[in-house]
Amino acid sequence: MRKFKIAGVLRVFALILLVSLVWCAIRDRTSAGNWRVPLQYNSDGQQIMGWVKAASEGDYVPFGRADISRLGAPYQANWYDYPMYEKPLVFCLGLVAKVVGVFEACNVGVLLGHILSAVSFYLCCRFLKYAKTWSFVGAVLFSFTYYHFWRNLGHLLLAFSYTVPWAILSCWIIVGSKRLRLGDRFFWVCIVTALVMGLSNPYNLNLYLQLLLFSLVVQFLRRRRRENLQTGLLAVAVAGVAFLAINMGTFAFEWAHGKNPTGLERNYFESELYALKPIEFFIPPPTHNVEGLADIGNKYIASVFVKGEICSPYLGIIGIAGLLWMFSESFLLLVRNRKPDGLFPPYALQSSWIIFYAVIGGANCMIALGGIQLFRSTNRFSIFISALILLFLVSRLSVRSRQWPPVLKYGIAAAALMIGIYDETPRPMAPEETIASAKMVESDQEFGRKLEEKLPPKAMIYQLPVMVFPDGIVSHEMEGGYELLRPYFATKTLRFTFGSVRGRNREAWQWEVEKMPAAQMISTLEKYGFSSIYINRRGYEDHGEALLKQLAAEGRDQTIEDDVHQQVCVLLKPSANPELPHTDDRAQVIFKSGWSVKQRTPLENRSWSGGNATLAFFSEPKQAASYSFRCMVGSILPRRVSIVMNGQELWSSQVGANQAVPVDITVVGRRGNNTIELKTDAAPFHPKDSPLPFAFTLINVEITRLL
């Protein structure tokens, strides 16, 4: 028995070693120096590194804090509004970063995703008593599914798919097991899986709960086996409680400060843009090792209209063969009206539901149109289909190969392994890519050292151009919406304005200061206690030269610049007694019902109603408080607009055609959300170029607490 256990451990070790060696070769991480360079030093890769950096400094803790002390200056950046997933994983990578560094920890994280996927898949197959050889092959192919390479560092947390095989297995246990007993190993597989799913990626949790509920329904309709139903319901409860627990900080923050609808803003069109397209199961990526297949991917990308996360669902040659085999087998069973052993094989049924739910115009799009738009990127559910196909192949080959000669069995297994790896993995990363990233990292680190030599510890730096976080719009030549995090990576004590989740009025002062003339900008920032203005040159058409000259003309000509001339800091003279900006006094406003279109420009925020409408503002004080309500009310056609609160008319005015009138009134808010009604006496106007009606518009709404 001990000999068999040692052999099993050695097989797992061999699996880890194979995955690691192949990955390191493909990702050009075969030297210690290259491991110090992040795989992706731009765009979403910087976002992930920001999370790991915050965790390494103790600012991002599961079930605990999510206010980042060195971002969001002069406050601490609020990350509670963004329900980031895989928080325990980010925390663990933060602990690794404390020892080896953020970039090294992120590289470890990418490799770890592949390793965990392989080991998890292998152990799941062995739990099902599938053959060791085919379990090993399936595990490697699952680890190297192109989905995982497409995600890379930028979508690192989505590449942790180790839970998927066990999620599928636990659903099979609920729907079909006749041996399940409360407290046995089948029971604990279901419960532990539910716990981990609840704590991890909500995308995977969403689909897992769907499949689990379907399993419960089928079990109830067919057998009504008590142990299965009890275990399934308990798994649903455990997953739900775990999800609530890991996101409790977000829920508590919203309860205390009001909902922030733009913190995680989603729109219906994204549900179509990032939906699953089954054709992409078969389209090789442009990075394919075979040039002819890569050309297919390039042609597809050039021709396709809806360009979401293109090629991510690619199944590979082995996966495509498995998909055809799986559906052919199910089709033949239906045509011949033959009953399979036990329940109808779940592979095809579950895959069919996933496709129906995730495709453009599928069930998720229907749900999104109804207002629930959280799960926009349903192409990500392709990893469940990859897992189902590989589990199907391993199960079928485990049976078919029992009578094969060892030479044939191992030969086919080796061929499948080599073909699958070569097909699914992208072309090896060119050394030039690593060298270019290394130069950028070295320049940033030297820039960070200069800043910390010149500025006192905890000095505050105002960053330009001002950008929202997360998912900021790229400005000019900037590579992604997270470039302003670069000095954060390269320093240990300095504080920066970027990085607080968008949508809160507290950070509105940053945009107001950005629009000020140089002299007013300097005096305002120094009054707030800022020691420097950071300018990312790539965010400006003239590389920031005009602004630098204006600041120099006002006597602020001392600068610190990086070696590649992308970042520069202008030194200021901070006040010894700084004060905080006053935009934190503004209440959180939510446009509730009756609104048609929102328009945002650098100078104006407009919300058009389609008739009568309502908005709400959140009052944080425990006692009733007075607020000033200011805005402009405009209209295309003449109409009267009234403002009503708690049944009392607070303001009413006639608004002329294509004109706007000011509103400046005082309202009283009680703790929590307070609703304000806006009423009009005229029908809405239907412009020829818009299917939506327009009644009146509110311009630059501000509801500010009176102190």
b/e sequence 613-629, b meaning 16+ C-beta within 10 Å: bbbbbbbeeeeebebbb
Q: What ranges make up the beta strands (E) of 489-611? A: 495-496, 530-536, 559-561, 567-571, 588-591, 595-600, 605-609
Of 104, 120, 136, the residue that ends a domain is: 120
CA dihedral 42, 45, 46, 50 (to 10 degrees): -170
- Residue 157 in domain: no
Regarding whether 598 and 482 lie in a shared domain, the answer is no
- Residue 151 in domain: no
Give the mean pLDDT per block of 10 residues along the chain (707 residues): 74 96 96 94 93 96 92 95 90 96 97 97 96 97 96 93 96 93 95 96 95 95 93 97 94 90 84 95 96 95 92 96 93 74 72 96 92 89 97 95 94 96 95 94 96 96 95 85 96 97 92 95 97 96 96 96 95 95 90 87 84 94 94 94 95 94 95 95 82 90 91
Q: For 405-464, write each residue's pLDDT tens digit.
A: 999 999 999 999 999 999 999 999 999 999 999 999 999 999 999 999 999 999 999 999
Regarding whether 564 and 595 lie in a shared domain, the answer is no
The C-alpha atoms of residue 113 and residue 111 are separated, in whole angstroms, by 5
Amino acid code (one letter) for 593: S
Range of the domain at 451: 444-571
- Residue 479 in domain: yes
Regarding whether 685 and 590 lie in a shared domain, the answer is yes
Q: Look at residue 4 in the predicted model and tell me its pLDDT.
A: 58
Regarding whether 274 and 385 lie in a shared domain, the answer is yes
Q: Look at residue 560 in the predicted model and tell me its pLDDT.
A: 97
The C-alpha atoms of residue 260 and residue 587 are separated, in whole angstroms, by 11
CA-closest candidate to residue 525, choices 600, 272, 517: 517
Count up the domains in the chain and report the number.
4
Q: Look at residue 341 in the predicted model and tell me its pLDDT.
A: 54
Q: Specify which residues 639 forms β-bridges with.
A: 655
Regarding whether 600 and 559 lie in a shared domain, the answer is no
**Max Cα–Cα distance, the chain, nearest Å:** 90
Of 85, 120, 155, the residue that ends a domain is: 120
Amino acid code (one letter) for 75: Y
- Residue 230 in domain: no
Regarding whether 622 and 536 lie in a shared domain, the answer is no
Q: For 8-18, write each residue's pLDDT tens digit.
A: 899 999 999 99
Regarding whether 464 and 351 lie in a shared domain, the answer is no
- Residue 658 in domain: yes
- Return phi, psi of residue 77, to 5°: -60, 135
- Residue 408 in domain: no
Residues 6+ apart with CB under 8 A from 703: 586, 587, 589, 617, 627, 628, 629, 630, 667
Of 62, 97, 120, the residue that ends a domain is: 120
Q: For 134-161, write each residue's pLDDT tens digit.
A: 999 999 999 999 999 999 999 999 999 9
Regarding whether 82 and 52 lie in a shared domain, the answer is yes
Q: For 633-642, write each residue's pLDDT tens digit.
A: 999 999 999 9
Regarding whether 560 and 487 lie in a shared domain, the answer is yes
Regarding whether 463 and 365 lie in a shared domain, the answer is no
Q: Which residue has the tokens 């402009």?
A: 632
Regarding whether 592 and 550 lie in a shared domain, the answer is no
Q: Look at residue 343 in the predicted model and tell me its pLDDT.
A: 47
Regarding whether 451 and 364 lie in a shared domain, the answer is no
- Residue 561 in domain: yes
Record the pTM: 0.92
Q: For 232-283, write each residue's pLDDT tens digit.
A: 999 999 999 999 999 999 999 999 899 988 888 788 889 999 999 999 999 9
- Residue 241 in domain: no
